[in-house]
Amino acid sequence: MTNSAVGTQSFATEKAAKVGRKLRWAFVGCGGISTTHLKAIAKIPEIEVVAGCDIKPERLKLMQDEYGIKAVYEKWDDMLAEIKPDVVDVCTPNGVHMPASVAASEAGCHVIVEKPMAMNPAECQQMIDAAKKAGKLICIGFQFRYHPNTEMFRRAFDAGEIGDILYVKCQALRRRGVPNWGVFGQKELQGGGPMIDIGVHIMESAHYCMGEPRPVAATGNCWTYLGDRPSEVLNAWPNWDWKTYTVEDLAIGHIRFDNGAIMQVESSFCAHIEKDIFNFQIMGTKGGFNWETATIFTDRAGTMINSKAAFLPSTEFGALFVAKLKNFADACLLGTPMRAPGEAGLTVQKMIDGIYRSAEAGKEVVIA
pTM of the complete model? 0.92
Termini Cα distance of the chain: 27
User: Which residue type is seen at 219?
Assistant: T
Q: What pLDDT score does 15 carry?
A: 46
Mean pLDDT of the chain: 94
Confidence of residue 230 (pLDDT cuts 50, 70, 90): confident
For the chain, domains (ranges, CATH) are 3-143+321-337 (3.40.50.720), 148-314+348-366 (3.30.360.10)
pLDDT one-digit tens code per residue, 292-344 = 999 999 999 999 999 999 999 988 879 999 999 999 999 999 999 999 999 99
pLDDT at res. 2: 39
pLDDT surpasses 80 at 220: yes
The per-residue pLDDT for range 348-365, each reduced to its tens digit, is 999 999 999 999 999 999
Q: What is the mean pLDDT of residues 176-199?
A: 95
Query: Of 89-93, 132-136, 146-150, 310-314, which gets the smallest average pLDDT?
Result: 310-314
Query: What is the average per-residue pLDDT within 149-157?
Result: 97
Distance of CA 282 to the CA centre of its chain: 20
Q: For position 34, what pLDDT does the model report?
A: 97
Is pLDDT of 190 > 90? yes
Measured over the CA atoms of residue 135, residue 114, residue 251 and residue 225, the dihedral's sign is: negative
Question: pLDDT value at position 232?
Answer: 79
Burial group, residue 151, by CB count within 10 angstroms (0-12, 13-18, 19+): middle
Supply the pLDDT for residue 314.
Answer: 81
Report yes or no: 134 and 105 within 8 Å, Cβ to Cβ. Answer: yes
Measured at the alpha carbon of residue 97, what is the angle toward residues 96 and 102, in degrees to the nearest 5? Answer: 105
- How far, in Å, CA of 161 to CA of 156, rounded? 5
* Per-residue confidence (pLDDT) for residue 201, from 0 to 100: 97
Tell me what percent of the residues of the chain surpass a pLDDT of 90: 90
pLDDT of residue 212: 97
Q: Please determine, for residue 215, whether its predicted confidence score (pLDDT) is greater than 50.
A: yes
Residue 92: Cβ within 10 Å count: 24
Question: C-alpha distances in angstroms, 365 versus 222, 247, 349?
Answer: 15, 20, 14
Longest dimension (CA), the chain: 67
- pLDDT of 4 > 80? The answer is no
pLDDT at 19: 58
